[in-house]
Structure 1
Amino acid sequence: MRMRLARHRRIVPNVFALVAAAIVVFPVYWMFNTAFKDPGRVSSLVPEFLPLPVSVENFASAMDNPNFWGYARNSLVASLTTVVLAMLVSLAASIAIVRHRFTGRRMFVIVLVLVQMIPGAAMVIPLYLMLREIGALDFVPGLVLTYLSFVLPFTIWTLRGFVEGIPVELEEAAAIDGCTRLRTFWHVQLPLLAPGIVATSIFAFINAWDDYLFAYVLLQSPENQTLPVWLVSFQTAEGVDYGSTVAASVIFSLPVLVFFLFVQRRLVTGMTAGAVKG
């Protein structure tokens, strides 16, 4: 009897969860559905929920740009470099904040929160002028520095919560056993911080991968531009090539979707652990 009541109580939450999942997933499904349609059927007023017959003409048109692979390379280099540098700096900074007492420690944490409240659009001109002064305009490493300025406050703040969740007694026990600081970090802290590193690295990757504003303003040469700038190229004075735009959006989304499929378990663990420990 109790099992039946429990099942009935779960019906309503499950229905709401299914409806919410359908609302979230449907735009993604429709994007893939439209991308595989024949270009002449993309703007049809009659909804077609299955792209039959399947056509890859939109993808061929989208990838016809001679600079496509250069855009993809620049996006990957900028995004992955941002992730690696952000994780290295964030790990060192978060451990220093939690495990060491130094003057200005509380103020540093407050500044991390305040910096996250500044809208990115407000920093376009200052960053443009700064990069121009150091000769880093129209330069992919300059774009990486820009991404780091927005990613680091969040990643340091998030990893700080994970470091606080590691009992200091584990590190003290490792030190008693003769481990150096580096070995303690590698064998004790790093495995326990893995879920948090995955969660924050995904945030860093998505922020760098999806950026259009800074890539458009700071990179002028076609050979240095990234995929978000490429997406806008399908909008011309003659109109918008909707089929190619949607196909380009699918291509642009695939790396993030594939990345999510591989790390989704770590991501959920990292997000829930960070919520409890932070």
Structure 2
Amino acid sequence: MKGNKLVALVLHMVLALVALVMLYPFLWMVFSSFKTNAEIVQNPLSLFPKAWSPVGYRNIAVLGGNSIWHYFKNSVIIAVSISCLTVLATSFGGYALYRNRKLPFFALIEKSFMVSMMYPAVLLLIPLYVVVVKMGLYGTNNFGGIILASSTGAWGAALPFFLAKQFFASVPYALIEAATIDGANEMQIFRRVMLPVMFPVLATSFLISFLTSWGTWLPVLMLSKDMSTYTLAAMLVNLNSDLGVDLSQTAALSTVLTLPVVLVFLITQRRVMDGIAAGSVKG
């Protein structure tokens, strides 16, 4: 018994050490946002600042002529819109494959989502740019092109699609048959029968998509005509210049960008795990 307790103690100590190693870069970023550039350069591995300074946050209060809250608002609008569009498209797609698997090209569509998980998203930028321009969604204060391009499978639609598909496969087909006998059409079956029972999967898909799209910057930079549609992530990339990098400013903006998604995940992690479990059950 004592031997088992000793092994458990050693194991927990090792796991705590691993957790500390994984957590250290995040803590370093947060504390470095309160340091000056000189202190960061002189003591790059130190964690706590010698003198707490808000200079980094003062420097990011206005970026590119816009308030930091302007870019925060853009991030929220784009991330929420991408998440809603992704959940809507993947839930409809998963239901369609569940109901009519033998229809032409449905098997190909299903496999294409798997390919999208392995395909480098950067290779789609030029085709997406051409599509966005041809649709008239490229312009000042126009989020449409960014949202449409970022909602593609290459930027995180594959996992919500498979969660929805696997969840539908676990639903007893007797529910569908009963609704069909009562005269319900496909949209009524989806809205009144499926949606109420798949809410955990929908919530999980939304959160996964939100957490993924919050840090998306490449399509934003590619499809923005000016900084009016930049997000926090795009501005973070834009901080670097030929004149050098402001480390304190970069750490401050990185903290502002990271903390919201960390808090969202900590608050919703149980629901995310439950939704993944619900969507991974194969009937």
What TM-score, normalized to structure 2?
A: 0.84
Which position in structure 1 is the counterpart of 2:81? 81
| Partner of residue 246 from structure 2, selected from 241, 256, 264 | 241
- The 8 Å contact of residues 166 and 279 in structure 2, kept in 1 or not, is answered as yes
| Partner of residue 46 from structure 2, selected from 27, 45, 48 | 48
Distance in structure 1 (CA, Å) of the matches to 2:44 and 2:145: 47
How far off is 1:141 after superposition? 0.6
Is residue 225 of structure 1 aligned with residue 223 of structure 2? no
Distance in structure 2 (CA, Å) of the matches to 1:145 and 1:71: 19
Identity %: 26
User: SS at the partner of 2:202?
Assistant: helix
Which position in structure 1 is the counterpart of 2:26? 28
How far off is 1:86 after superposition? 1.2
Which position in structure 2 is the counterpart of 1:147? 150
Distance in structure 2 (CA, Å) of the matches to 1:79 and 1:154: 16
Give 2:269's aligned amino acid: Q
Distance in structure 2 (CA, Å) of the matches to 1:49 and 1:252: 20
- The 8 Å contact of residues 70 and 224 in structure 1, kept in 2 or not, is answered as no
Match runs of 1:127-138 below 5 Å: 127-138=128-139
Give 1:75's aligned amino acid: S
1:26 and 1:277, CA in 2 relative to 1: closer, same or farther beyond 3 A?
Answer: farther
What is the RMSD computed on CA atoms of the aligned residues? 2.8
Distance in structure 1 (CA, Å) of the matches to 2:15 and 2:101: 45
Which position in structure 2 is the counterpart of 1:121? 122
Which position in structure 2 is the counterpart of 1:215? 220
Which position in structure 2 is the counterpart of 1:100? 100
1:89 and 1:71, CA in 2 relative to 1: closer, same or farther beyond 3 A?
Answer: same
Match runs of 1:57-76 below 5 Å: 57-65=55-63, 66-67=65-66, 68-76=68-76
Distance in structure 1 (CA, Å) of the matches to 2:264 and 2:195: 21
How far off is 1:25 after superposition? 1.3
Is residue 271 of structure 1 aligned with residue 272 of structure 2? no
User: SS at the partner of 2:152?
Assistant: helix
- The 8 Å contact of residues 58 and 247 in structure 1, kept in 2 or not, is answered as yes
User: SS at the partner of 1:51?
Assistant: coil
How far off is 1:165 after superposition? 2.3
1:153 and 1:176, CA in 2 relative to 1: closer, same or farther beyond 3 A?
Answer: same
1:22 and 1:172, CA in 2 relative to 1: closer, same or farther beyond 3 A?
Answer: farther
Match runs of 1:5-20 below 5 Å: 7-8=5-6, 10-20=8-18
- The 8 Å contact of residues 163 and 276 in structure 2, kept in 1 or not, is answered as no
How far off is 1:84 after superposition? 0.8
Which position in structure 2 is the counterpart of 1:168? 173
Give 2:56's aligned amino acid: N
| Structure 2 spans left out of the alignment, 5+ residues | none
Give 1:58's aligned amino acid: G
